[in-house]
Amino acid sequence: MTLEIETPNLRLTVLSKHSAEMVLDFYNRNGDIFEKYEPLLGDDFYTVAHQKKLLDFEQQNILKLVMMRYWIFEKDNPNKVIGTVSYRNIVRPIYECCTIGYKMDRDYMNKGYCTEAIAHSLPVIARDYGVHRFEALILPDNAPSIHMVEKLGFKYEGLLHDKIVINGERLDHCMYAYLADN
């Protein structure tokens, strides 16, 4: 299990609950953007205590080999989270699949960092976890996200009706998939 990945511009790393303040700062800076694409968050989401619980929960699931979340940092700024890429619902052996999710800080969008993070972490997850199929669920009107996954080699597979509840409304999502051997 690879807990840190270096790319040309970035450091991707797993964080513990001791980094909750950095993670909270990331969400506080970008919550208005993320909430457009996320299910409803609890009232205590924007607290250090809640972020500690989430990071602890993620570490437990990483140890169970059912998820991996890398927090993204610029190489020259190890104290500011600028994004995250996660691989959830890892199912093996038969399905050998997972769901990918990602977020970038508003000030670091359109710089290629999210593409770089995913391009370098996909092969690591394929190797370490035996994942063959990576699935991305994207709202149909999220053109930047669709463009990015297509650039990475994800293929459109169809529209999933009423897939995820966001802000109290059940919304359709586009299904994109990437096969590790392509």
Q: Domain 4-179 in CATH: superfamily?
A: Gcn5-related N-acetyltransferase (GNAT) (3.40.630.30)
| Percent of the chain at pLDDT exceeding 90 | 88
Give the Cα separation of 24 and 72 in Å (integer).
14
Whether residue 42 is predicted with pLDDT greater than 90 in this model: the reply is: no
160 three-state secondary structure? strand
The residues, ordered by sequence, that sit 6+ positions from 8 with a Cβ below 8 Å of its Cβ are 116
Output Rg (C-alpha) for the chain, integer angstroms: 16
Q: Please, which pLDDT band fits residue 170 given cuts at 50, 70 and 90?
A: very high
CB of 91 within 8 A of CB of 97?
yes
Q: Chain-wide mean pLDDT for the chain?
A: 95
Residue with the two structure tokens 């840190």? 4
pLDDT at 50: 95
pLDDT tens track for 79-120? 999 999 999 999 988 999 999 999 999 999 999 999 999 999
Give the Cα separation of 38 and 35 in Å (integer).
5
Mean pLDDT of 154-168: 92
| Percent of the chain at pLDDT exceeding 70 | 99
Give the Cα separation of 178 and 182 in Å (integer).
8
Whether residue 40 is predicted with pLDDT greater than 70 in this model: the reply is: no
Mean pLDDT of 15-30: 97
Per-domain boundaries in the chain: 4-179
**pTM for the full model?**
0.94
